[in-house]
Amino acid sequence: MHYREVAGSREFVAQLAHGDDWRSQIEDFAAHEGVEAAFFVGLGAVQDATIWYYDQDRQAYDEVVFAEPLEVASCVGNLSDLDGEPFAHTHAVLSRRDGSTLAGHLDAATTFAGELYVRTFEEPLVRTHDEPTDLDLWDL
């Protein structure tokens, strides 16, 4: 395990805009506020969603699109720098009308309503390529 201590500094609450992309709004917020590293949680509802699942054997993401209204029962993630731009690493648990759930890496979703809490870190976090996983992970 690699780790380092970080200190939190700024905190934000946000209402995500109806009709805009959930993850893009988080990245735009980070760019606007100069946030280089943060942790966030959110909840709400989306009109559709694109979820990615990482196939560890193929080292590639599989995309699944859900063209239906879904509740965002839980959304957690972090913000860091990837290739000089804010990247919102976002995971979500989404529920259907019947209570069944979908979960995974949230690539995109059209916001119906959303609320977010963000706590920034004073130290920046940068993502670099990790050879064993073929993923861009924190460079600690």
Per-residue pLDDT tens digits for 7-62: 888 999 999 999 999 999 999 999 999 999 999 999 999 999 999 999 999 999 99
Give dist(CA 12, CA 131) in Å, integer.
34
pLDDT beyond 90 at 6? no
The position carrying tokens 């609450």 is 13
Contact between residue 137 and residue 30 where contact means Cβ atoms under 8 Å apart = no
Domain ranges of the chain: 9-127
CA distances from 60 to 52, 53, 72, 91, 128 (A): 10, 8, 25, 17, 17
Residue 135 is predicted with a pLDDT of 87
CATH number of the domain located at residue range(s) 9-127 in this protein:
3.30.1330.80
Side chain identity, residue 45: A
Structure pTM? 0.91
Assigned token pair, 83: 């290739």
Residue 4, phi then psi, degrees to nearest 5: -155, 155
Q: Give pLDDT tens digits for 69-111.
A: 999 999 999 999 988 999 999 999 999 999 999 999 999 999 9
Q: How many CA atoms lie within 13 A of 61 on its CB side?
A: 12
H/E stretch holding 28 reads: helix 22-33
- Helices in the chain by DSSP H: which ranges? 22-33
